[in-house]
Amino acid sequence: MEKKLMSGNEAIAYGAYLGRVRVAAAYPGTPSPEILENLVTYPGVYAEWAPNEKVAVDVAAGAAYAGRRALAAMKHVGLNVAADSLFYTSYTGMQAGLVIITCDDPAMHSSQNEQDNRHYARFAKVPMLEPSYSEEAKQFTKLAFDISEAFDTPVLVRSTTRISHSESIVQMEEPPSPTWEELPPYKRDPVKYVMVPANARRRHPIIEERLGKLAAYFEGLDINRIEMGDPALGIVTSGVSYQHAREVFPEASFLKLGTVWPLPVNKIREFASRVKRVVVIEELDPFLEEQLRLIGVECTGKKIFPILGEFNSGLVRDCARRGGLIAGEAAQEAAATAPSPPLAAELPPRPPMLCPGCAHRGMFYVLQHYKAVVLGDIGCYTLGAAPPLLALHTCGCMGASIGVAHGVDKAGCKDRKVAVIGDSTFFHAGIPPLIDVVYNKGATTVIVLDNRITAMTGHQDHPGSGRTLAKEPTVDIKIEDVARAVGFQKVDVVDPLDFKATRAIVKEHLESNEPSLIVARHPCVLYAREFKKPYQIDPEKCNDCGICRRIGCAPLIRADGKMAIDQLLCIGCGFCAQICGRKAITQVA
């Protein structure tokens, strides 16, 4: 069979396919979306975007209860949303394999926090596998289904940004049959599946016993392997840290853990007894280090390697040198090969900004003019918080804007409260707080920035986009209909690139005292590829007032001491022309 270059996410999808997954559900979140985008292309696999991660795990759990192998995938914070479901599935177990992929994001390349989801495995008492490169991502995902069925447990597979997005070689295998096996009759077993206290109490000891059995099984599993080298230094590691550590310490002995929970305690002790000094190299929290200490293995870890951010081989080498792990000749050699300076030092800073022509900008420009408290949310539109727009005052996690606005309202703040939320975020977690506002007689104005797609994570469909993950047409749930259905009386739809109309509607809503909702609808320019002729500035008419600069659109530049429009960047949305009082901006003929 041939070999192929695959990213970790492609390999996870391929491994799930080889593992005969039948049903998969996910909510996109960097660095995870490509898993489902790939999985949906395989024959014999049903895959869907769920409105959020909890729903994704519930859908996968249902399929696994019914007897089909199932998978749910998400980014690290997605597991916070799905945690309730992770915990009940840990108790119930299932009929067919259930695998949950968590893609963590050390260094927060695209996340609101840095969180180490290995803790979830321990917390929810389920096993976790952690691949170090694409071939393992394939193998471990496939294996996870077998483990899930053998031990009646959901299995977590943890990736990180570097594993998910780097490509390495994967061995292709015989494809499984695309034909779905006949489903066994649905097993009605309330004592196992109805988690009322009496039944859950019976399940808890079974879960504790299961962990013991898993630990014993992991002792003999070859994905936890000892690679003996120089016994002077023994490195315990897993995931991407294994690759960095291998590069920096080619001679050392390694215990490479493929299962990070439960830990193969005997194997760890055996390894420790065969080396002089144990060092743990792991990104983020001292998860392995603390466990090693608990079982009485003396080791060093976070004293040398940072708890913050992402590792690379240069950083591991630097820390190792400072921590005295590279000594004598090796230190001189390492010193001679000075670490490459961090890339960031060589590049000019490029703060993220809204794309040229992004319709979100229109609403933020209008909002700037009001003394409202603007509670933000997560998506491309979070960039409205950046200068020069400076239009958002908070941003916590997906769906938080509306509830936070309602809290500010109930606290008695006199300013008008405005929650700004994206369309995908609205369907993800915006509906329950919307209900809270009307139910509890709040007076928040909710503005849904509806660009018809989940733009931030790479244009995934959602319940309001009219298409499924497989790109089939489906019901297009209208946000304004949802708002009216839950009791909002004042609901309007506006195109945020129509400056005058947007200004009028926002003014009207902010002056009212009732809960209200505006859908600011304009398709994402990058997705709709809505590129028109660019605009230009007439230097004779321009008086350099600077108003156009306040929208923070990249094509608006200064050239030869005057305002100008970069013709290559401008996509012709025309918003700047609408706000120019001197009519100095016109479209190129």
Ligand X SMILES: Cc1ncc(C[n+]2csc(CCOP(=O)(O)OP(=O)(O)O)c2C)c(N)n1
Residues of this chain, 457-476, that bind ligand X according to CB under 6 A: 457
Decide the pairing of beta strands 70-75 and 98-104: parallel
* Closer residue to ligand X in complex, CB, 79/577: 79
Identified binder of ligand X from the candidate list 38, 141, 237, 451, rule CB under 6 A: 451
* Closer residue to ligand X in complex, CB, 156/265: 156
Identified binder of ligand X from the candidate list 71, 355, 456, 556, rule CB under 6 A: 456
CA distance to 4, 297, 374, 511, 552, per residue, from 523 (Å):
36, 57, 23, 28, 19
Structure tokens at 231: 């016994």
Contact 96, 147 (CB under 8 A): no
CA distance to 133, 345, 496, per residue, from 546 (Å):
51, 31, 21
Identified binder of ligand X from the candidate list 238, 454, 465, 516, rule CB under 6 A: 454
CA distance to 64, 284, 291, 390, 511, per residue, from 366 (Å):
49, 41, 54, 12, 14
CB atoms within 10 A of CB 212: 10
By CB under 6 A, residue 379 contacts ligand X: yes
Please report how close the Cβ of residue 33 comes to ligand X at its closest, in angstroms: 8
Please report how close the Cβ of residue 31 comes to ligand X at its closest, in angstroms: 10
By CB under 6 A, residue 378 contacts ligand X: yes
* Closer residue to ligand X in complex, CB, 237/454: 454
DSSP 8-state code for residue 177: P
* Closer residue to ligand X in complex, CB, 81/389: 81
Please report how close the Cβ of residue 463 comes to ligand X at its closest, in angstroms: 11
Site pattern 46..65 for ligand X (x: CB under 6 A): -------x------------
* Closer residue to ligand X in complex, CB, 32/134: 32
* Closer residue to ligand X in complex, CB, 147/497: 497
Please report how close the Cβ of residue 522 comes to ligand X at its closest, in angstroms: 11
Identified binder of ligand X from the candidate list 242, 381, 488, 535, rule CB under 6 A: 381
> Quick one: which segment of 3-11, 315-323, 455-463, 536-544 binds ligand X (CB under 6 A)?
455-463
* Closer residue to ligand X in complex, CB, 161/454: 454
Residues of this chain, 396-425, that bind ligand X according to CB under 6 A: 398, 422-425
**What CA–CA distance (Å, rounded) separates 580 from 430?**
35
Alpha helices in 134-196 (DSSP H): 134-151, 161-165, 190-193
* Closer residue to ligand X in complex, CB, 28/239: 28
* Closer residue to ligand X in complex, CB, 11/383: 383
CB atoms within 10 A of CB 21: 31
Residues of this chain, 302-321, that bind ligand X according to CB under 6 A: none
Identified binder of ligand X from the candidate list 28, 258, 262, 534, rule CB under 6 A: 28
Identified binder of ligand X from the candidate list 26, 56, 70, 81, rule CB under 6 A: 81
**What CA–CA distance (Å, rounded) separates 276 from 552?**
58
Helix (H) or strand (E) holding 71: strand 70-75
Please report how close the Cβ of residue 387 comes to ligand X at its closest, in angstroms: 19
Site pattern 474..503 for ligand X (x: CB under 6 A): ------------------------------
**What CA–CA distance (Å, rounded) separates 16 from 577?**
51
DSSP string, 504-516: HHHHHHHH--S-E
By CB under 6 A, residue 455 contacts ligand X: yes
Among 32, 29, 41, which Cα is nearest to 12's?
32
**What CA–CA distance (Å, rounded) separates 577 from 583?**
7
**What CA–CA distance (Å, rounded) separates 9 from 131?**
11
Please report how close the Cβ of residue 310 comes to ligand X at its closest, in angstroms: 18
Please report how close the Cβ of residue 426 comes to ligand X at its closest, in angstroms: 7
> Quick one: which segment of 61-69, 72-80, 264-272, 535-543 binds ligand X (CB under 6 A)?
72-80
CB atoms within 10 A of CB 306: 12
Please report how close the Cβ of residue 494 comes to ligand X at its closest, in angstroms: 16
By CB under 6 A, residue 100 contacts ligand X: no
**What CA–CA distance (Å, rounded) separates 323 from 480?**
59
> Quick one: which segment of 42-50, 89-97, 323-331, 375-383 binds ligand X (CB under 6 A)?
375-383
Provide the residue count of the chain: 589
Helix, strand, or coil (residue 31)? coil
Angle between helices 134-151 and 8-18 (to 10 degrees): 40
Cα 72-75-78 angle, rounded to 5 deg: 75
First to last CA, the chain: 57
Name 234's bridge partners.
Answer: 253, 278
Please report how close the Cβ of residue 548 comes to ligand X at its closest, in angstroms: 23
Please report how close the Cβ of residue 74 comes to ligand X at its closest, in angstroms: 7
- The footprint of ligand X on this chain (CB under 6 A) covers a number of residues equal to 24
By CB under 6 A, residue 525 contacts ligand X: no
Identified binder of ligand X from the candidate list 20, 54, 75, 317, rule CB under 6 A: 75
Contact 155, 35 (CB under 8 A): no
CA distance to 71, 165, 229, 290, per residue, from 280 (Å):
31, 24, 16, 10
By CB under 6 A, residue 72 contacts ligand X: no
* Closer residue to ligand X in complex, CB, 31/67: 31
* Closer residue to ligand X in complex, CB, 378/537: 378
Identified binder of ligand X from the candidate list 78, 239, 264, 356, rule CB under 6 A: 78
With b meaning 16 or more CB within 10 Å and e meaning fewer, what string describes 429-468? bbbebbbbbbeeebbbbbbbbbbbbbbbbebbbbbbbebb
* Closer residue to ligand X in complex, CB, 449/573: 449
By CB under 6 A, residue 291 contacts ligand X: no
Closest residue to ligand X in the complex (CB):
422
Cis peptide before 175 (omega within 30 of 0): no
> Quick one: which segment of 163-171, 208-216, 306-314, 376-384 binds ligand X (CB under 6 A)?
376-384
**What CA–CA distance (Å, rounded) separates 155 from 129?**
8
Binding site for ligand X (CB under 6 A): 27-29, 53, 75, 77-78, 81, 378-381, 398, 422-425, 449, 451, 453-457
